[in-house]
Chains A and B, each alone.
Chain A
């Protein structure tokens, strides 16, 4: 053992093998969320794409209000609205090619719809007639995921598998600010970076996890900063600026497709509605705070840009609103019909082949259903069902 005879004479040297694995500087997010709308740079943006995004935002907003209304009519069990966050939802869907995959959370119905999924199918989980209302392979949209952050490793695995098979497929996975505290978030980011998997992680930082504000969720400088520790770039973007989110995500998707690995994007946004229709947001936030964010509304931001640049006139605005209204009316009408459910479906997809025990239970239900069909239940009997 070395004895230090003269204090201060000893200078520790780094251990021989140590070197930084990666230069962290290029991975660090900008100090401020990236913005495009209202800046000089915005003039160079593709007008057609901007108009398309505008249409999607207007329809998206209407979709959110319509779905929330359906909860009040008892047609939806619950709806986690993405009002205020439509720019993230739309940009995520539009940043992907058809062959790419989207991994949405329970709040991201709108992203699924913007990707082309039928609005009624997108709501199946929340209506409660089944867990997933569509074939994920058909749309390349994974089932809306309820347990927080657990879809992120799935996105990594799928993207990794696609790359092993030689397909240039990218997976984009969405998660909330609260979800970034879950272990699966960390494991997914780490796997993605180690495997250089073609994945884009989009964190929608909407300020709250139900009632818990970001300050109680993390002590990190930003959620985008978390990327650096895993060895992937972190990008910070104004989540209400659809053009900015789209550009950052498109760049991340391009990087991933080119084999340059994953990116973590934090979109700073705000949840205007409560967590869900069942939540009382007045318990944890002030109206004044909500109002400051209303003044930074994603639909207004783009509308101002487009009208300012004479890319949108009143007629065009009206046309988009009419289209949104028609979508809402169609959604209302179709959601107001009771779904046709077959109770025997309960046993259909538990295993590829039914076990003896399940066969027996299915027979029991069949017999109960047949017996119920034979006799008309009286009012009392009916009430017990």
Chain B
């Protein structure tokens, strides 16, 4: 990397800052990288991720567009056809829907349609998920729509280092990447040195965030900290939980996930998105197909309810929290019949306690 460091030295940085730094470094390294979207210029985006880019690189490289998501992504398609690497910011998860047609009908399949002649190196950044008290249309977890579209990569970082490394990998990718930025982790901090960022193994590799032996929690994005907290809490009950952060939903790192489940014999998939037809169903099915003989219990899912995202004053009931994760872990003491959830009381909800 040839970039002049703006700041160096390890100190606390937020995920939003790391993302901004990834954009900046990508733009500095590669003149074909262009950022476009609503309010990305002078304002720096509503989450300030693009702060300073227009000033540093000019409005031709970091462009405030008219308010039209299909237009933004459609223009990005044409820009990519002409050799640019557009990075598109969608302001909020639910406002990416107008661009769905362009994403599904063109971005995802242009490489295929043209037999490789027209790759689409587009990164679509989508601030996603709940937990920030947003009003309606500001908290959706829409990953399953993207996952269901062949031709797209779908990525969701959970740490400051990953936010930087994965966004750089996404921008460098010759394929389109839907880059899901967990809104409620934007302000999460870690000690980080933007001058010497950690190596991230690229898109498609999961990370084992915590080693354990009793069961595996498989998660990504905003649910990663929840699962790590649950794993700490479970220690008191004698459960040693492994936490796998998928980081990338497509491609899916089956190897890491299955290796973990084979070791622990038990698995819970945790995410904010709805459960019915949600990402967890796909992951559970894969684990069952690959690790059936290693499983001591059915693969369980802890997810958001199957409801439109609730109003902010009720969202804490919808979002899977530590207790609900622990509750599922307790249910992994599979015996014979379906074990019903205990009502979110965690381990306390189980009369017999945990063996």
Q: Which residues of A contact B (CB under 8 A)?
A: 130-132, 135-137, 142-143, 147, 150, 152-162, 164-165, 171, 183-184, 186-188, 190-191, 194, 345, 348-352, 355-357
Contact = CB atoms under 8 A, between A and B. Distances in A.
B71 A187 contact: yes
Nearest to A143: B113
11 contacts: A131-B114, A152-B74, A156-B71, A157-B86, A160-B78, A164-B84, A191-B66, A191-B68, A191-B75, A355-B204, A357-B254
B113 A131 contact: yes
B136 interface: no
B232 interface: no
Contact of A150 (B74, B82, B117): B74
Contacts of B174: 352
Contacts of B79: 157-158, 160-161
Contacts of B77: 153-154, 157
Interface residues of B, number: 48
Given A355-B251, A355-B252, A349 B74 contact: no
Contact of B66 (A154, A159, A164, A194): A194
B81 A158 contact: yes
Interface string B192-215: 000000000000100000000000
A355 B80 CA distance: 23
B112 interface: yes
A130 B115 CA distance: 9
B204 A183 contact: no
Given A156-B75, A160-B79, A191 B117 contact: no
Given A157-B81, A165-B82, A349 B116 contact: yes
Nearest to A158: B78
B111 interface: yes
B70 A153 contact: yes
A293 to B, nearest CB: 33
Contacts of A356: 251-252, 254-255
Nearest to A153: B74
Interface stretch (B47-55, B97-105, B221-229, B315-323): B97-105
Given A159-B78, A164-B60, A183 B70 contact: yes
Contacts of A142: 81
A132 B68 contact: no
Given A157-B74, A188-B71, A349 B112 contact: yes
Interface in B85-101: 86, 98, 101
Given A154-B74, A157-B77, A187-B70, A137 B113 contact: no
A211 to B, nearest CB: 23
Contacts of B250: 355
Contacts of A190: 66, 68, 71
B117 A136 contact: yes
B127 interface: no
Contact of B118 (A137, A156, A159, A187): A137
A136 B118 contact: yes
Given A190-B66, A194-B66, A357 B252 contact: yes
B105 A150 contact: yes
A147 B101 CA distance: 9
Interface string B238-253: 0000000000001110
Contact of A348 (B65, B116, B254): B116
Nearest to A103: B78
Given A150-B106, A352-B175, 8 more contacts: A136-B118, A143-B113, A150-B70, A158-B78, A165-B83, A187-B71, A349-B116, A350-B150
A161 B113 contact: no
A351 B151 contact: yes
Contacts of B98: 183
A351 B98 CA distance: 24
A147 B105 contact: yes
B78 A161 contact: yes
Nearest to A137: B117
B16 interface: no
B342 interface: no
B173 interface: yes
Given A147-B101, A355-B251, A355-B252, A187 B68 contact: yes
A351 B150 CA distance: 9
A57 B117 CA distance: 31
